[in-house]
A and B are shown apart, each in its own frame.
Chain A
């Protein structure tokens, strides 16, 4: 591991200026960053510890929404009574990710910035356009069973690993950011980039930007939500395919639906196509299957991960069945 200078920040106002210095990185839970520092994938020269910043509250907003501090730990968020009552999809997604120990460490802001588990990204002996732009992609012709089928490019097929972000995508979350030029809000749906020709650029953040909060909008009364995750073992594993569904019913008819997928996209994948198929339709297997077909229409499977196309479709159907049951 490369040596670094360590500074503990106590004041969010000074964080942006400190974070804008070249080579500086914020550290919160450290579960991604320190892991990658040990692999020399991340090599910050200054580490800014933000654990003392007062961003650890889950607050109900006057409009019925919820504001989550960036430092709220994944375990605290998953077990928060407001989240469990109003946004069960988020609690379920969080509890399906990592282990109890890691969830006690990992934060809300940090989870949004998790790096891919692509083994070629994690191993500096291999070419990787995300880690070393222009070096090539070892995964496209390599072992790519865990890789993405949606949002890929000829430069990168790395899967976004987060479960939490998939649920937040279906909940239409907004990210609050403090930067050197002040504060701004970015809808989560516009926060991530697909890799295109610049897979090293993963999101809208620029040096000095610090995520301070994530806001979830109020849900119409009677809205139901569910997270379903499919993986190689029953626990403590990343998704091969997952679905976050948020559905509002009018009798047996779907009045509104939001669908997001994990484990299959280069970013947490919102499917407006699936949502369009569900809008106003009867809640039945045929409708769910049509939505699943629409969601995966643009899938580009490779030699090892073609199974994910059907797996993702069935995951969507199963999640919708679950959430629309009385």
Chain B
């Protein structure tokens, strides 16, 4: 429990910021619907709605304006992500990671360190794994971006996803999308056959829970599938 709760809760038993204390009718806007609306606001034209908003959430009144993105300095940026083309208006300083999460609503790609040190934001660009936090979205207008949401094809898990499940290769799961994107790229990269080589090839993805033994086992099993 955080220090803040220690201080606040005894004086304020109905504190609205405690999720357990929040009554449904008090919830004007959930975190997910807020982020979802942010995502939709950022999309000028797209094939279809990217964020699923449940009927219950749709009837909530939103205090957010629904006019198009008017961020000063925003310029048209076209991104091709998981096979779909999106015409956005973004500031040049929006990273690919932030564009994926905040503008396209693809929350699978995680923000960990935001400085290229943890690998949680790993995505594929033109078939190669990169840290999406250390590159600007505007630099990838001609590129094919694949995120964790695009890894499974035709409703079938990617071998890496299946083996992560099989080998319980996670604990909290926060690093897992990045681990899986790295592992999926590794299958096509030069990497030695032994476990040490896998550890080296996966070293750009940090797991604070320390699920490494199972991650290595999952990656090796995925490689054996061919």
Do residues B136 and A99 form an inter-chain contact, with CB atoms below 8 A?
no
CA distance A22 to B131 in the complex (A): 29
Stretch at the interface among A31-39, A126-134, A149-157, A247-255: A31-39
Q: Which residues of A (94-113) have their CB < 8 Å from a CB of B?
A: 98-102, 104-105
Contacts A30-B139, A101-B122: A3 and B91 contacting too (C-beta < 8 A)?
yes
**B21-29, B51-59, B81-89, B199-207: which one contacts chain A?**
B199-207
> Does A6 contact B129, Cβ atoms closer than 8 Å?
no
Check B92–A47 contact: CB distance below 8 A. yes
Say whether, besides A34-B135, A38-B114, A47-B92, A235 and B200 are in contact (CB < 8 Å): yes
Q: Which listed residue (A35, A234, A235) contacts B116, Cβ 8 A?
A: A35
Q: Is the CB of B185 within 8 A of A100?
A: yes
Cβ distance B122 to chain A, nearest Cβ, rounded Å: 6
Interface size on B, residues (CB 8 A): 31
B92 adjacent to A100 (CB under 8 Å): no
B134's partner among A1, A35, A49, A236 (CB-CB below 8 A) is: A35
Overall SS of chain A's interface: mixed
Residue tally, chain A, CB below 8 Å to B: 28
Q: DSSP class of B's interface residues: helix, strand, loop or mixed?
A: mixed
B189 at the interface (CB under 8 A from A): yes
- Please indicate the chain A residues that have their CB under 8 angstroms from the CB of B201 in the complex: 100
> Is there an interface contact between A235 and B73, defined as CB atoms closer than 8 Å?
no
The reply to whether A236 and B131 form a contact with Cβ atoms under 8 Å apart is no
Segment 166-213 of B: residues with Cβ below 8 Å from A: 182, 185-186, 189-190, 199-201, 203-205
Interface CB pairs A-B, < 8 A, 25: A3-B91, A3-B92, A4-B93, A6-B138, A31-B134, A34-B134, A37-B93, A38-B114, A38-B115, A75-B128, A79-B190, A99-B203, A99-B205, A100-B182, A100-B186, A100-B203, A101-B116, A101-B119, A101-B122, A101-B130, A101-B131, A101-B182, A105-B135, A234-B199, A236-B203
Chain B positions within 8 Å of A, measured between CB atoms, are: 73, 75, 91-93, 95, 114-116, 119, 122, 128-131, 134-136, 138-139, 182, 185-186, 189-190, 199-201, 203-205
Per CB-CB distance, the 6 closest pairs between chain A and chain B, nearest first, are A99-B204, A6-B92, A235-B203, A236-B203, A104-B128, A101-B204
